[in-house]
Amino acid sequence: MEAPAAARNPAETDLTVTSPEQMRDLGRRLAGLLRAGDLVMLSGELGAGKTTLTRGLGEGLGVRGAVTSPTFVIARVHPPLGDGPPLVHVDAYRLGGGLDEMEDLDLDVSLPESVIVVEWGEGKVEELTEERLQVRIHRAVGDTTDEVRRVTVTGLGERWTSADLTALAN
């Protein structure tokens, strides 16, 4: 993985990922920064690597069950194998509205004791908490076999003001 560009603020870093294995490794490292109550919002084109990153998060958090895309079930809960928090993996792609449409998922109830990862959550779950990680994955679009991804991780809110997100590049 390429070293990050100079951080624009202490809670943001840019990374270059060149393979699915590196994306999964990034997820494992990111899991080391997370704790119960954290919300992670993932955005990027179809096939950018959002679910691959979440697989790594699940491995890093030590949760039960294979992490797969919850597109058709909307949300999956992965209980911890040890003392860590459960992982709630949400795919908001098929949901058109904001938080109102997601209320049935009880994310606000799950948030204090879980790590919640929401794919396609922009404009839909920001009201859950002002403190969240935004992970944007950029990839070449069109007919390409390019595996290179540019990943921007931004910490929002007091929880992330002193976080050293540049450590994700290791």
Which tokens sit at 51?
């679910």
Q: What is the pLDDT of residues 122-149, one digit of tens each?
A: 776 777 788 999 999 998 776 667 789 9
pLDDT of residue 6: 41
Q: What is the pLDDT of residues 43-100, one digit of tens each?
A: 998 889 999 999 999 999 999 988 887 666 677 888 999 999 999 988 877 665 555 5
Strands 75-78 and 87-91: antiparallel
Q: Please indicate whether residue 7 or residue 57 has the higher confidence score (pLDDT).
A: 57
Confidence check: pLDDT of 3 > 50: no
pLDDT of residue 4: 47
pLDDT of residue 1: 58
Strands lying side by side in the sheet with 12-17 = 12-17, 149-156, 132-139, 39-44, 115-119, 87-91, 75-78
Confidence of residue 7 (pLDDT cuts 50, 70, 90): very low
CA-to-CA distance for 74 and 133, rounded, in angstroms? 20
Q: What is the pLDDT of residues 112-122, one digit of tens each?
A: 888 999 988 77
